[in-house]
Amino acid sequence: MRQIILDTETTGLNARTGDRIIEIGCVELVNRRLTGKNLHFYVNPERDSDPGALAVHGLTTEFLSDKPKFAEVAGEILDFVRGADIIIHNAPFDIGFLDAELTLLGKPPFREHCGEVIDTLVQAKQIFPGKRNSLDALCDRFGISNAHRTLHGALLDSELLAEVYLAMTRGQESLVIDMLGEGAAPGAAAAPRVRLEAIELPVIMASGEELSAHNAVLDDLDKALKGTSVWRAKPVPAEEKTADTQNA
């Protein structure tokens, strides 16, 4: 399973009024593992950024002036995402800008070049209803350090979102399944599942010396309590517990 975490930075908030993409970052996951294969471009938008957007990303017109135009990198971007599921935080925003750029080039919408688009903001709202679900808030919630993030950046945000996505969708995977997957080459067939019922776990019994030391500790507890400690109390049979509850 190949997935791409994608993020963009833009000159403003509205692609319909002429705002453009100025940065795109993509991080690859294969079978839920980071491969280290990333894609990153700064893009010359051929216009200035709005003051509010500039304060967020810090990418000045001067810095972007010698960077490639979107038309020059579009083919490489589409090749990188082709067939993969795309993971985006607040997907309508980024997809809207990508579609606007592709329309200018006479190309089909972005979704026609990739697999499923997964919106982590929608997922987060379902898991944490009524709470803040920005990328920063999710990093705090899952204990992911973003201390190095003073400004928004597409590649850095994609790397953080990859960690958030993996934490948020981890579920109740067992340690055994995790260990089976370690060391597997990207794209390799999944290792066979272990039949846990077939595993015979060793039982290590306490020695006589250890039992004597344990009983000595319990004797001291009994003396201090002037009675019998809970460690020596016999468990109440289940049927007696049920009867007591009904008679209460």
pLDDT tens-digit map of 1-37: 899 999 999 999 999 999 999 999 999 999 999 999 9
**Binding-site residue set for substrate:** 7, 9, 57, 157
pLDDT at 178 > cutoff 70: no
Annotated binding residues, as ranges? 7, 9, 57, 157
Residues annotated within the binding site for a divalent metal cation are 7, 9, 157
Q: What pLDDT is recorded for position 204?
A: 79
- For residue 216, name the pLDDT band (cuts at 50, 70, 90): confident
pLDDT in tens, 99-122: 999 999 999 999 999 999 999 999
What confidence score (pLDDT) does residue 174 get? 37
- For the domain 2-181, what is the CATH code? 3.30.420.10
Render pLDDT for 55-106 as a digit per residue (tens, 0 to 9).
888 899 999 999 999 999 999 999 999 999 999 999 999 999 999 999 999 9
- Domain spans, the chain: 2-181, 208-247
> What gap in Å lies between CA 217 and CA 225, rounded to an integer?
13
Give the C-alpha separation, 118 to 162, whole Å. Answer: 12
Instruction: Please report the pLDDT score of residue 182 as a whole number.
Output: 45
> Region 232-240: what's the mean pLDDT?
61
Can you give the pTM of this predicted structure?
A: 0.67
Least confident stretch, 44-48, 151-155, 183-187, 215-219: 183-187
Decide: residue 87, CB within 10 A, 0-12 exposed, 13-18 middle, 19+ buried: buried
Under the banding of pLDDT at 50, 70 and 90, the label for residue 211 is: confident
pLDDT for residue 245 is more than 70: no
Active site residues: 152
Structure tokens at 53: 């957007």
Q: What is the pLDDT of residue 227?
A: 76
Q: Rounded CA gap, 103 and 232, in Å?
A: 77
At residue 199, the pLDDT reads: 62
List b or e across 183-216, with b for residues whose CB sees 16 or more CB atoms inside 10 angstroms: eeeeeeeeeeeeeeeeeeeeeeeeeeeeeeeeee
